[in-house]
Structure 1
Amino acid sequence: MKLGILLCDDHYPDSIAKYGHYDDAFKRMFQRSSISAFKSYRCHEEEYPSSIGDCDIWLVTGSKWGVYDTDPWIQVVAQFVRDCDDANQPMIGICFGHQLIHYALGGCVEKSEKGWGMGVYAIETLNQPTTLNTKFTGTLNLIACHQDQVIAPANGFEVVAGSDFCPIAITQKSKTTLTMQCHPEFTPDFLTQLIERLRDKAGDEVVNKALNSLENLGEGDRKQAISLIFNFCRIQQE
């Protein structure tokens, strides 16, 4: 199984020495999965796949951009998502990728009036992801960093998990698409330095609360979110 990583951003230059490029975070995350090969495309720098058939599964990453921004590359990736959806080509969306998949397929994405979702926060299982052959129940504490949210899902998607703060946090469409607002590829160490960068934008209260959640909960239920993604990938081989 070959995973195509549609990069919609990269780490800050001074973070790369310690953490590598953004796609390295996903490669580390998928080490024990059924994925055997990777191909990265720097879409935010206008490097794109030639065909949806170039890889078995496509992953749309997080980004500092908003899906409603006017940068041309965002529309190119949105069309690529529509092409994958038309062909039932498997897709995974993470944070911005979660939002872009819904945006491209007719959902609504906005900057949330509830403010920043930052640190480790709780979501509740709303529906079992039955087509993904996994049990996913109860409360999950997951790493996140976002302002935008999916306000209305695209047609055909089931909301797997959410909360009062983020009602549409994890979604699936049949066996072909899995999206999540959280960042399972982020470690607490990485997120700590990232949210410190956002102190001027988000404010001390939000950042300090996020840092406190990391101190108390660590990576939370990150492994369960990763397991859901791994199960999704295994199903694509059936």
Structure 2
Amino acid sequence: MRIGILQADAVIEQFQSVHGNYPGMIAGILGSAATELNLDVEFRNYDVEHGIYPDATDECDAYVITGSKKSVYDDEPWIAALKEYTCELHQEEKKLVGLCFGHQLVAEALGGKTLGADVGWCVGIHESEVIQSQWFMSDEELNPFTLIVSHKDQVIQLPEGAQLLASAEQCPNSMYSIGDHILTMQGHPEFTREYSRDLMEMRREILGVETYSEGVASLAKPLKKNIIARWIIRFMKGKPATE
């Protein structure tokens, strides 16, 4: 299975020597999950922030839209182009996964709404509750699940046809799906605790004392990102023929 990474941002240069870049993070966590599930995968990266896209949508079997420091409602040509491409993938029912910015962009592109959240920044490890179990989730993996988050925007209105799958206290629309071809989540299965800590330290003044302190303390919680990565790979592979 070939997975295309639609890269919407880059790790800041001073962090790359330690943490790598977003395509490598995503390939690492999803590649490990695929190995656990005895599935061969390869990855291709497309720097959509700078206008680089696949020559054809069938160049890959599935796509992932990464996170970004930008907001999906920013008036920038590359964001508008990515929304158009998302609509194209949706029309063709290509497998598509959105992470953080990707989660929000899919919603906006398909008729939902994303705004700055009243709660402000959400950082660190947060819990979500599955409210609608799906075929790619194993029962023993369900509740609660935890992911690292880093966002100040949220999806406040789901797009038409979306099914809410999971909800968090500070982010009610934390995971949704559309049909059997789109899965998005506000959290970051690709992030490590160390990268999350460095991001919070970089944004310490922006976050404020309370949000920063609670975010750093939350990094001691269990992290179930490997479980979510397996969900993503199962979803991309598709339903077993017996179902």
Alignment of 1:149-168 (within 5 A): 149-168=154-173
Q: Identity over aligned residues, as a percent?
A: 29
Question: Structure 2-normalised TM-score?
Answer: 0.92
Judge conservation of contact 1:57–1:90 (CA < 8 Å) in 2. Answer: yes
- Count of residues paired in the alignment: 235
5+ long unaligned stretches in structure 2: none
Q: 2:242 aligned with 1:229, yes or no? A: no
Find the aligned partners of 1:207 and 1:123 in 2 and give their Cα distance: 20
Judge conservation of contact 1:35–1:233 (CA < 8 Å) in 2. Answer: no
Alignment correspondent of 1:37: 42
Residues 221/133 of structure 1: CA separation in 2 closer, same or farther (3 Å cut): closer
Judge conservation of contact 1:7–1:43 (CA < 8 Å) in 2. Answer: yes
5+ long unaligned stretches in structure 1: none
* 1:7-31 Cα distance to aligned partner (Å, 9 max, x none): 0001010111112221110111122
Judge conservation of contact 1:3–1:57 (CA < 8 Å) in 2. Answer: yes
One-letter amino acid of the structure 2 residue matched with residue 221 of structure 1? K
Alignment correspondent of 1:15: 15
The structure 2 residue matched to 1:217, chosen from 215, 221, 228, is: 221
RMSD of aligned residue pairs (Cα, Å):
1.5
Question: Structure 1-normalised TM-score?
Answer: 0.94
* 1:170-213 Cα distance to aligned partner (Å, 9 max, x none): 11112101100000000111111111111121112211110000
* 1:114-134 Cα distance to aligned partner (Å, 9 max, x none): 11111011111111123x364
Question: Secondary structure of 1:31's partner?
Answer: helix
Q: Judge which range, 55-64 or 40-49, deviates more.
A: 40-49
Judge conservation of contact 2:163–2:176 (CA < 8 Å) in 1. Answer: yes
One-letter amino acid of the structure 2 residue matched with residue 116 of structure 1? W
Question: Secondary structure of 1:186's partner?
Answer: coil
Displacement of 1:53 after TM fit?
Answer: 1.6
* 1:86-137 Cα distance to aligned partner (Å, 9 max, x none): 011110000000000111000010010111111011111111123x364353
Judge conservation of contact 2:126–2:168 (CA < 8 Å) in 1. Answer: no
One-letter amino acid of the structure 2 residue matched with residue 66 of structure 1? S
